[in-house]
Structures are given as structure tokens and as C-alpha cells.
Amino acid sequence: MGRPLSLPDLSRPVLEVAPRLLGAHLAAGGCTVRLTEVEAYAGQDDPGSHAFRGRTPRTQVMFGPAGHAYVYFTYGMHWCMNVVTGVDGEASAVLLRAGEVVEGLDVAQARRPGVRERDLCRGPARLCRTLGISGVHDGVDLLAAGSPVRLLPGAAVDPAGVRTGPRVGVAGDGAVAPWRFWSDGEPTVSPYRAAVRRVRRST
DNA sequence: GCCAGGATGTTCT
DNA sequence: GAACATCCTGGCA
């Protein structure tokens, strides 16, 4: 702590930007969230990225300039939000996995009745739901003053408290880059759940 | 408390 | 047709 409160240059490489987004604030839907867990997706270099197989209508925002929101719909009912990083055309982004509500808690709890405060933004889909983020926010400029979703400077995080981990499920030939970043000791960071192949109900 | 399984629609092969 | 960067509910310890 104690470092000046400022946002990282989002046009830098995603693995550099991701840890520096911890502690930043995300304001939307009358609430402000302090980011506590993020995950980097490096586009062409990450088999787990939506953009790995190339540009599609769905992922075209990831290929655009940094500072925009890439919001996608998954599992039939959940929205997840990324912050596009890197230079134009690189398709890298940072998935916002978890956060803590620091402003507008009453609004958040009204939107999510019965949910404990620490669970409001514990998980990428819950974070979006609590903030009211959906597909209409796909591609918005997070740095524009008039945007419905804004990324703002927050509380600087002690680099020593930033923990990293390789993503399980992504096969790496040799060393695997630490894709996930989270603030140590944050109750809003959920334990990692190994990817399980879902068995679909037979038709 | 933890674990297993179902839900639900868009995207891509 | 199958996968999917997930969440919620119910059952059991």
C-alpha cells in the first residue's frame, strides 16, 4: 500500500496489467467493487481463451483496443466481463473473477437479496450480476466518463500480497505462465474449482 | 460443512 | 451436436 492510486496502462502486456488491476475499482449499476481476483487471457497464446481459434463475431471486442469491456454470455444464464488489454489486434484480456463491494452496498444487496456480503461478487458471473452488467455493456469504453461501466483507480495493493497461480486445465509445454492473480487473504476470493466435464442430460 | 449434479442459451465444429 | 473462463440447489456427513 502507499503507492499512488492510478490505473495501469491497459495497452501493456496482459500479464503485466492483470496483477495491477487488483485493488482497482469497477463502478456500474450504482455500485463500486474493489477487484480482488482476476485472470489473464492471452489470446493467441492461451488455448483457454475464446480468441485462441481466431477472431469471431463474439470475440471481436477482444481484438480491439485496450480499455474496453468484453462481456460474454455463458452456460445459458451467466454473464462474465473482461477488460481488454494489450495493443489493438492482440486479443488479450483480463477476466474479472471476484471483488468486494466498497460502495453502494445497499444497492447491491437489494439487487441480490439473501446473498451474504462476501458472496456478492465472489465469482465472475456473480460480480456481473451484482453490478447489473450484461451483454448490452459489451464493447463499452471503461475509461470514458459517461460509460455505464467504468474502471477507476482504487486502493493500491501491496505486491507482496499478490498471489499467482497457473491455470489448471491448460496444458503447457514446459513452464506455464501464472495466469491467475488474487489478493492474499481476501474472503471474496473463492477457492479454485477444477474444471469438471459436465454431463449433459440425454435428450 | 462439503460434494455432486442440473440448469440454460450462445457459439463453434 | 457438443462444449462452455459458472452458479445454485439439494442431499448427506
Cell 452496498 belongs to residue: A105
| Interatomic distance A125 CA / C4 C1' (Å) | 14
| Interatomic distance A19 CA / B11 C1' (Å) | 29
Average pLDDT score over residue span A75-96:
93
CA distance A148 to A173: 41
Average pLDDT score over residue span A132-140:
94
Q: Is the CB of A124 under 7 A from strand C?
A: yes
CB < 7 A contacts with chain B (nucleic strand):
A 50, 53, 56-59, 73-77, 198-201
Average pLDDT score over residue span A88-117:
93
Q: Is the CB of A82 under 7 A from strand C?
A: yes
Q: What is the DSSP string of chain A?
A: --S------TTS-HHHHHHHHTT-EEEETTEEEEEEEEEEE-GGG-TTSTTTT---TTTGGGGS-TTBEEEEEETTTEEEEEEEESSTTS-EEEEEEEEEEEE-HHHHHHHSTT--GGGTTBSHHHHHHHHT--GGGTT-BTTSTT-SEEEE--PPPPGGGEEEEEPTT---SS---EEEEEETT-TTSPPP-------PPP-
Q: Which of A39-53, A144-158, A189-203 has the lowest mean pLDDT?
A: A189-203
CA distance A193 to A203: 28
Nucleotide nearest to A70 (CA to C1'): C5
| Interatomic distance A136 CA / B10 C1' (Å) | 15
Check residues 29 to 58 of chain A and report those whose beta carbon is under 7 Å from nucleic acid strand C. 39, 41, 48-51
Nearest protein residue to B9's C1' (by CA)?
A: A76
Average pLDDT score over residue span A107-136:
93
| Interatomic distance A141 CA / C6 C1' (Å) | 25
Chain C, protein-covered positions (CB within 7 A): 2-8
Closest CA relative to residue A14, chosen from A51, A38, A40? A40
**pLDDT tier, A101 (very low <50, low <70, confident <90, very high otherwise):** very high
Average pLDDT score over residue span A155-182:
71
CA distance A131 to A151: 13
Output the nine-digit C-alpha cell for A138: 459489451
